[in-house]
Structure 1
Amino acid sequence: MLVAVILDLLIGDPKSLPHPVQFMGWIISFLKGLTEGIKKENKSKLYIGGLIITLMVVSLSGISGWIIERLFLFFDTKNPILSTLIFAFVLSSSLASRSLNKSILEILNLISKEIHSENLRDLRQKLCLIVGRDVENLDTNEILRAAAETASENSVDGIFAPLFWMFLGTIFWEFNQSMPGPLAMAWIFKSSSTIDSMLGYKEGKLKWLGFTGAKLDDLMVWIPSRIVLITLPFCCKTNQSIYKTIRDSWKDGIVDSSPNSGISEAIFAYCAEVRMGGVNYYKGVKKIKPIIAKSYPIASINSVKKILNLSLRLQLAWLLGFSLIMKLINLLI
């Protein structure tokens, strides 16, 4: 697990190699087109079609991960160092720490330069790759807010949620190595996340087709987001107590329409001492998100960097905590 996290931080996702999420995306796109062609505008059938897509993609992803785990366990006895490195590299593909940091830092570096029309255009183009909101009319302050919010939310979705499921798969192995392990559980999560990102929109046919995938993704992020809520305050220094930080974050985050993203943004907002929320536009439609941590200043380059640093500290804290849990389990069994 530690090797996988280190590889993700150092190497990330090499663009020359195919990524598992790409294969998931191809399968989802194919099944989406097939289902829409068959079910037409029938809501009930689209619900069922979305359920079938979710079951097929999640099952195929989990089984693929399980097969790779069987190969790893077989070759681990013959060449433990090489097999562990290869397995850790494959496992690291489920984490997004380096890619998230790189994307955010590119935006921050552009902002730190002199702002002119061409620079602002580049900023918006880079931002649109990592956010779902409309970026055409965003100024520098709004770009920084978007960067802070996506760094917070994606830290949970792209780092801590898959880490949680990897941890759970590793615990499964302690009891029976025939069970789904860290890779199978991570790929099950990544498949649900990919389905949600591709189909989980409340518009047109996707309102029904993506319903099951979106709910599954919400369910799989529900526990990790709340563990982040409880553990992140231990990695930061603020002017208020840990209890108050958690309480205020919960109070601000729970009113968000998403059961997880509001909490994810809120705890990072209070720990990094930066205000989030406000007016966003999605495909031209205005959406007002609740203001989070309103007593703190608006996002700046330093506060966004602080969010990235907090995410790194929490990763290390989770790894330490997990190693202690594993030692306790080994003592008990």
Structure 2
Amino acid sequence: MLVAVILDLLIGDPRSLPHPVQFMGVVISFSKVLTEKIAKENKSKLYIGGLIITFTVVSLSGISGWIIERLFLFYEIKNPILCTLIFGLIISSSLASRSLNKSIVEILDIISKENTINNLSNSRQKLSLIVGRDVENLDSNEILRALAETASENSVDGIFAPLFWMFLGTIFWEFNKSMPGPLAMAWIFKASSTIDSMLGYKEGKLKWLGFTGAKLDDLMVWIPSRIVLITLPFCCKPKQSIFKTIKDSWKDGIVDTSPNSGISEAIFAYCAEVKMGGVNYYKGKKRIKPIIAETYPMASINSVRKILGLSLRLELFWLLAFYLIIKLINL
């Protein structure tokens, strides 16, 4: 587990190596086309098709991870160091610490330079690769808000949710090595997350086709997002008490239409002391997100960097907590 986190922080996802999400994406895309061809406009068939896609992709991902775990456990006896490094590299592909940090810092570096039309255009182009909202008309302040919000939400989706399921898989191993371990559980989560990102839209056929995948992803992020809510204040020095920070974050975040993203953004907003929420556009459609931490200032370069720093601190805090939990189990 520690090796995977270190490798993710140091090298991230090497582009020269195939990524498991790419294979998941191929299966999802093929299944989507096939399902739409069979179901046509029938809502019930689209829903059933989405259920089958979700079950198939999640099952195949979990089984693939489980098989790799069997190979690791077998060869670990012969070459423990090499096997641990290879296994750590494979499991680190489920984490997004370095890739998220790198993408956001690149945009921050552009914004920190002289505010020219070319720099603004470049910032928007890079931002469009990591957010779902329309970016064509965003000024530098709105770009910074988008970065603050995506850094908060994606820290949970891309780091802490997969970490939680890795932890759970490792605990399974403490009781029985034949159970799904950290890689299998991480890939099950990544499968649900990938299905949600590709099919989980409330429009057209996807409203029915992506329903199951979206609900499964919400379910798998539900617990991790709330653990982040409780633990993040211990990694910062909030102006108010930890209890009040958690309470205010819950109050602001729970009104969001998403059961998880609002809470994720809210706790980072209060800990980094930055206001979030407002008007966003998605494919030309206006959507007003609730204002979070209204008394704090708008997002700035420093506050976005602070969110990234908090995320790293919390990741290390989780690793320490998990180490202690394993020690207690083994007593």
Q: TM-score range by the shorter chain?
A: over 0.9
Q: Tell me the residue number matched to 1:169.
A: 169
Q: Secondary structure at the match of 1:70?
A: helix
Q: Secondary structure at the match of 2:330?
A: helix
Q: Tell me the residue number matched to 1:199.
A: 199
- In 1, the alpha carbon distance for the partners of 2:100 and 2:204 equals 30
Amino acid at match of 1:58: V
Q: Secondary structure at the match of 1:141?
A: helix
Report Cα offsets for 1:161-185 as digits up to 9, x if no partner.
0000000000000000000000000
- In 1, the alpha carbon distance for the partners of 2:107 and 2:268 equals 19
- In 2, the alpha carbon distance for the partners of 1:108 and 1:291 equals 23
1:327 and 2:327 are equivalent in the alignment: yes
Q: Which runs of 4+ in 1 moved over 4 A?
A: none
Report Cα offsets for 1:27-62 as digits up to 9, x if no partner.
000000000000000000000000000000000000
Q: Which runs of 5+ in 1 are unaligned?
A: none
- In 2, the alpha carbon distance for the partners of 1:185 and 1:239 equals 37
- In 2, the alpha carbon distance for the partners of 1:53 and 1:178 equals 26
Matches within 5 A, 1:179-218: 179-218=179-218
Q: Secondary structure at the match of 1:278?
A: strand
- In 2, the alpha carbon distance for the partners of 1:86 and 1:293 equals 43
The alpha-carbon deviation at position 285 of structure 1 amounts to 0.2
1:145 and 2:160 are equivalent in the alignment: no
1:284 and 2:313 are equivalent in the alignment: no
- In 2, the alpha carbon distance for the partners of 1:108 and 1:172 equals 41
Q: Which runs of 5+ in 2 are unaligned?
A: none
1:13 and 2:13 are equivalent in the alignment: yes
Q: Tell me the residue number matched to 1:62.
A: 62
Matches within 5 A, 1:88-237: 88-237=88-237
Instruction: Give the RMSD, CA atoms, in angstroms.
Output: 0.3
TM-score (structure 2 length as normaliser): 1.00
Amino acid at match of 1:27: V
Amino acid at match of 1:152: S
Report Cα offsets for 1:73-109 as digits up to 9, x if no partner.
0000000000000000000000000000000000000
The alpha-carbon deviation at position 118 of structure 1 amounts to 1.0
Q: Tell me the residue number matched to 1:301.
A: 301
Q: Tell me the residue number matched to 2:275.
A: 275
Amino acid at match of 1:183: L
Amino acid at match of 1:76: E
- In 1, the alpha carbon distance for the partners of 2:207 and 2:183 equals 30
